[in-house]
Structure 1
Amino acid sequence: MAKKEKLDPETEALIQWCTQVETFLVAGGATLAQAQEHIEEQVEWFTDQFYEGLTPEEAANEALL
């Protein structure tokens, strides 16, 4: 079995934030698969939003515009 790589706290926070964004995208009408795909395709944009301090809800709302 491969060892799990320990992520740094900042990366863990970003992943948790994206998971929360996913929830808001689904609430806005996307399927879970669509939300995940969109985040993966736009990962740089979402990462920027995270570092700019947007809440997951604000980022999802921007993405849904």
Structure 2
Amino acid sequence: MKGPVYFLLVATIIALASWIFWRYLGDEAFQVLTMVLLIALAIDNHRLRQQLKRSRPAS
């Protein structure tokens, strides 16, 4: 019984958070999402480059 209650609670919180996000940022929300995605891409790229350096054999 706890599972569906937690699911509804989390769904309500996420719906409220997304409404607040779009309500207060409006047209600027796309700029915020773009910046977040670009930063995440840069971080992931940096992480993958470090992993690639570690896995290369010394030549």
State the TM-score, normalized to the length of structure 1: 0.33
Who wins on radius of gyration, i.e. which is larger?
2
State the TM-score, normalized to the length of structure 2: 0.36
- Kindly indicate which of the two structures has a greater share of residues assigned to helix: 2
Higher relative contact order (CA 8 A, sep 6+): 1
